[in-house]
């Protein structure tokens, strides 16, 4: 008797449950009601913490020199502040921070003293560092209301407004945490309410500055959240849904081009990158109309949105490959900049374009040697499927010609070679247009989110020559970040263009692994300067 083999029970296709979706971290709150504020009170002698304020952050200088706010704190604590400075000779130096409990008075705030070195040499850089240190101390104290007076220490080259903006941004950045993918949200406690100190005469400037800083900080937060989300959640479709949510919140125009529409436009370079993935590629377009003249030429930001980069058939080595979830940080940064610009209601027209795909190996993936036709009509020999960023960007860069842009800036985690050249300090800045390059360079300097200009000499273009197509997608080992930029340059002849390679600056590796939110501060500064006041 032969037993009929048992038919295996049809297994349900396993459905790997994705972790819960990212809930945005609640940003710290700011309030600015000089004299009547819940946290700060303006007196004839200057702003002081109000009743019910838990913590006050004030500046101290080298050699026991007290800032005006620290002098008032010294009176409030009956000399404890000056004593602390006397006892600790290091306090006052940049990088120093000390908590002083006000034992002189019941119900009085705890003082956080932060060092700023020498008053007449104060820079925005040291102010940012001190603000970060103050925030770390504040976190440990878990207060509800914080009086913050460091913004009253205005560097020579800065203004009340700019200083308030930098401090508000730094505070917002400091309270960022990502726990969307953890079962238990350890950082669930709402961040404290901050109030920046001001006088009656600086109130308007501090209010404006704080609103700017808060908007940029919130934009960075969106950029970090998107970057930190894993590839199984943050897919091309997730980026499209995020853009649609932004459009709804800020009344922006939005369009998401699917495979069919991109095919009709001839975007075969972009499509070739996404074709081996089960997540379909998209082209996302977001439009903000803030200029008085709705016909005014827009600034266009294009962000690389590779939601995961395995390298494709030119597969990347396994070690550290998880970090290729960050290959959509260009996209995240232009979306974050859009959020900041819309929040600030900037008077300019801004368009954000995100080509997005997942770069996977499979039976139908592109192979080294394949030739594709880009939307521009130029053909590309794909010698390395891991040089995919430029393949999606080139079609997006051709697409944006239709907007007659005032300027186009693309942002991309484009090359490991850029990290070799500039490390994790400066973003790579490429542009044939000196004015645009200087504009972006200066924006980076002002926003403490710096870039360094790289060359685009004609000679480098030689390296992209192909025997079989109009160009190859790689230029060999020498000057890898430059030849990548040269590739993009071939698609940007119709307008003023710059390229930012953020491979080294978009995220941190190691123990503090996480998205940095860069270059949102630089781009926000750039569009703010372009906007009519
Ligand atoms: N996304 C990577 C670039 C990258 C690598 C960014 C490491 C940050 C860290 C990009 O798609 C890529 O793989 N570039 C190749 C280009 C090469 C094949 C010419 C690279 O940099 O190795
Ligand atoms: Mn790659
Ligand atoms: Zn990539």
User: In this predicted model, which residue has the larger pLDDT, 112 or 9?
Assistant: 112
Pair of tokens at residue 106: 């019941």
Pair of tokens at residue 473: 């997608």
16-57 pLDDT, tens digit each = 677 655 666 777 888 777 766 778 788 888 888 888 899 999
Q: Is 413 in the pocket of ligand 1 (CB under 6 A)?
A: yes
Pair of tokens at residue 395: 């079609």
Same domain, 159 and 97: yes
Give the distance (Å) from ligand 3 centre to CA of residue 413: 6
User: Atom of ligand 1 at shortest distance to CA of 323?
Assistant: 9
Backbone φ/ψ region at 258: left (φ over 0), alpha (ψ -120 to 50), beta: beta
Q: Whose CA is nearest to atom 5 of ligand 1?
A: 416
- Predicted confidence (pLDDT) at residue 92 exceeds the cutoff of 50: yes
Secondary structure of residue 375 in the 3-state scheme: coil
Asked whether residue 2 is domain-assigned, the answer is no
The pLDDT, as a whole number, for residue 442 is 98
Give the distance (Å) from ligand 1 centre to CA of residue 417: 7
Asked whether residue 194 is domain-assigned, the answer is yes
Quote the domain boundaries for residue 473.
Answer: 250-320+330-530
Same domain, 263 and 166: no
419: Cα separation from own chain's centroid: 18
Give the distance (Å) from ligand 2 centre to CA of residue 345: 36
- Predicted confidence (pLDDT) at residue 374 exceeds the cutoff of 80: yes
Same domain, 389 and 481: yes
The pLDDT, as a whole number, for residue 11 is 42
Give the distance (Å) from ligand 2 centre to CA of residue 327: 8
Same domain, 111 and 211: yes
The mean per-residue pLDDT over the stretch 411-421 comes to 98
The pLDDT, as a whole number, for residue 192 is 93
- Predicted confidence (pLDDT) at residue 135 exceeds the cutoff of 80: yes
- Predicted confidence (pLDDT) at residue 139 exceeds the cutoff of 60: yes
> Residue 79 burial (CB < 10 Å; 0-12/13-18/19+)?
exposed
Same domain, 254 and 212: no
The answer to whether 336 and 372 are in contact (CB under 8 A) is no
DSSP conformational letter for 10: P
Asked whether residue 237 is domain-assigned, the answer is no
461-476 pLDDT, tens digit each = 999 999 999 999 999 9
Q: Whose CA is nearest to atom 7 of ligand 1?
A: 416
User: In this predicted model, which residue has the larger pLDDT, 48 or 245?
Assistant: 245
Secondary structure of residue 260 in the 3-state scheme: helix
225: Cα separation from own chain's centroid: 10
In order, the DSSP letters of 129-171 are: HHHHHHHHHHHHH--SEEEE-GGGS--TT--HHHHHHHHHHHH
Measured CA to CA, the distance from residue 519 to residue 169 in angstroms comes to: 14
Asked whether residue 518 is domain-assigned, the answer is yes
Asked whether residue 62 is domain-assigned, the answer is yes
Same domain, 358 and 257: yes
Whole-structure pTM value = 0.95
User: Atom of ligand 1 at shortest distance to CA of 306?
Assistant: 1
The strand pairing partners of 358, in sequence order, are: 308
Pairing label, strands 427-430, 451-453:
parallel
Catalytic residues: 316, 390
Q: Is 387 in the pocket of ligand 1 (CB under 6 A)?
A: yes
Q: Is 309 in the pocket of ligand 1 (CB under 6 A)?
A: yes
Instruction: Please tell me the total count of domains within the chain.
Output: 2
CATH number at residue 357: 3.40.630.10
Asked whether residue 6 is domain-assigned, the answer is no
**Which ligand lies nearest to the CA atom of residue 473 in the structure?**
1
Same domain, 194 and 304: no
Q: Is 415 in the pocket of ligand 1 (CB under 6 A)?
A: yes
Pair of tokens at residue 474: 């790689």
Same domain, 377 and 431: yes
- Predicted confidence (pLDDT) at residue 2 exceeds the cutoff of 80: no
The pLDDT, as a whole number, for residue 1 is 44
Asked whether residue 239 is domain-assigned, the answer is no
Measured CA to CA, the distance from residue 370 to residue 189 in angstroms comes to: 53
Same domain, 496 and 407: yes
pLDDT > 70 fraction of the chain, expressed in percent and rounded? 95
The mean per-residue pLDDT over the stretch 222-228 comes to 98
Residue where a domain stops, chosen among 219, 236, 264:
219
The pLDDT, as a whole number, for residue 147 is 95
The answer to whether 391 and 272 are in contact (CB under 8 A) is yes
How many of the other CB atoms lie within 10 Å of CB of 102? Answer: 19
- Predicted confidence (pLDDT) at residue 300 exceeds the cutoff of 80: yes
Q: Is 79 in the pocket of ligand 1 (CB under 6 A)?
A: no
Same domain, 299 and 395: yes
The reply to whether omega before 150 is within 30° of 0 (cis) is no
313: Cα separation from own chain's centroid: 30
Give the distance (Å) from ligand 2 centre to CA of residue 218: 29
Pair of tokens at residue 107: 């119900």
Q: Whose CA is nearest to atom 17 of ligand 1?
A: 387
DSSP conformational letter for 104: T
The mean per-residue pLDDT over the stretch 105-115 comes to 93
How far, CA to CA in Å, does 360 sit from each of 14, 227, 298? 21, 19, 34
CATH number at residue 124: 3.40.220.10
**Candidates 361, 387, 463, 505: which one to mutate for ligand 1, based on the most atoms within 8 Å of Cβ?**
387
pLDDT band of residue 184 (cuts 50, 70, 90) is: confident
Same domain, 99 and 201: yes
489-498 pLDDT, tens digit each = 999 999 999 9
**Candidates 415, 423, 424: which one to mutate for ligand 1, based on the most atoms within 8 Å of Cβ?**
415
The lowest-confidence range among 34-43, 202-211, 406-415, 459-468 is: 34-43
The mean per-residue pLDDT over the stretch 420-448 comes to 98
Q: Is 389 in the pocket of ligand 1 (CB under 6 A)?
A: yes
How far, CA to CA in Å, does 370 sit from each of 272, 273, 469, 484? 10, 12, 10, 18
Q: Is 384 in the pocket of ligand 1 (CB under 6 A)?
A: yes
User: In this predicted model, which residue has the larger pLDDT, 318 or 180?
Assistant: 318
Same domain, 200 and 262: no
The pLDDT, as a whole number, for residue 52 is 85
The pLDDT, as a whole number, for residue 27 is 78
Asked whether residue 12 is domain-assigned, the answer is no
Name the CA dihedral angle for 37, 38, 42, 43, rounded to a multiple of 10 degrees.
140
Pair of tokens at residue 123: 């820079």
Give the distance (Å) from ligand 3 centre to CA of residue 317: 13
Give the distance (Å) from ligand 1 centre to CA of residue 228: 18
Q: Whose CA is nearest to atom 22 of ligand 1?
A: 416
In the block, residue with structure tokens 């002002």: 446
Measured CA to CA, the distance from residue 324 to residue 326 in angstroms comes to: 5
> Residue 254 burial (CB < 10 Å; 0-12/13-18/19+)?
middle
User: Atom of ligand 1 at shortest distance to CA of 311?
Assistant: 13
């Amino acid at each position: 008797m032969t037993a009929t083999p048992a038919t295996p029970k049809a297994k349900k296709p396993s459905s790997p449950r994705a972790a819960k979706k990212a809930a945005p971290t609640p940003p710290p709150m700011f309030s600015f009601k000089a004299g009547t504020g819940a946290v700060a009170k303006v007196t004839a002698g200057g702003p002081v913490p109000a009743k019910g304020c838990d913590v006050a952050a004030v500046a101290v200088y080298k050699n026991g020199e007290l800032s005006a706010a620290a002098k008032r704190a010294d009176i409030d604590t009956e000399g404890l502040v000056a004593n602390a400075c006397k006892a600790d000779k290091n306090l006052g130096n940049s990088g120093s921070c000390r908590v002083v409990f006000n034992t002189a008075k019941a119900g009085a705030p705890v003082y956080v003293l932060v060092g700023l070195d020498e008053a007449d040499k104060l820079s925005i850089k040291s102010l940012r560092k001190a603000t970060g240190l103050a925030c770390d101390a504040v976190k440990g104290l878990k207060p509800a209301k914080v009086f913050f007076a460091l913004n009253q220490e205005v560097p020579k080259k800065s203004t009340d407004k700019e200083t308030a903006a930098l401090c508000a941004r730094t505070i917002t950045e400091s309270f960022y945490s990502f726990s969307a993918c953890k079962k238990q949200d350890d950082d669930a406690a709402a961040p404290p309410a901050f109030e920046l100190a001001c006088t009656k005469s600086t109130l308007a400037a501090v209010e404006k500055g704080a609103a700017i800083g808060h908007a940029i900080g919130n934009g960075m937060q969106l950029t970090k959240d998107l970057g930190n989300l894993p590839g199984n959640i943050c897919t091309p479709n997730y980026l499209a849904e995020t853009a649609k949510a932004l459009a709804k919140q800020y009344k922006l125009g939005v369009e998401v081009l699917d495979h069919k529409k991109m095919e009709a436009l001839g975007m075969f370079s972009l499509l070739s990158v996404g074709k081996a993935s089960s997540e379909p590629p998209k082209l996302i377009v977001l439009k903000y109309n803030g200029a008085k003249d709705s016909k005014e030429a827009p600034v266009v930001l294009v962000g690389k949105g590779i939601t995961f980069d395995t390298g494709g058939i030119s597969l990347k080595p396994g070690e550290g490959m998880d970090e290729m979830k960050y290959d959509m940080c260009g996209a995240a940064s232009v979306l974050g900049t859009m959020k900041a610009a819309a929040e600030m209601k900037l008077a300019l027209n801004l368009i954000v374009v995100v080509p997005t795909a997942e770069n996977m190996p499979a039976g139908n993936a592109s192979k080294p040697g394949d030739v594709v036709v880009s939307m521009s009509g130029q053909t590309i020999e794909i010698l390395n499927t891991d040089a995919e960023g430029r393949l999606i960007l080139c079609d997006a860069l051709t697409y944006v010609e239709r907007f007659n842009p005032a300027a186009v800036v693309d942002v991309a985690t484009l090359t490991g070679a850029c990290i070799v050249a500039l490390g994790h300090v400066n973003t790579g800045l490429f542009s044939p247009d000196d004015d645009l390059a200087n504009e972006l360079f200066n924006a980076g300097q002002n926003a403490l989110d710096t870039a360094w200009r790289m060359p685009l000499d004609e000679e480098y273009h030689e390296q992209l020559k192909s025997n079989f197509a109009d160009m190859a997608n790689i230029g060999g080992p020498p000057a890898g970040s430059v030849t990548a930029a040269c590739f993009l340059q071939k698609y940007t002849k119709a307008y003023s263009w710059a390229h930012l390679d953020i491979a080294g600056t978009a995220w941190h590796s190691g123990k503090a692994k996480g998205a940095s939110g860069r270059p949102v501060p630089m781009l926000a500064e750039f569009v703010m300067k372009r906007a009519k006041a």
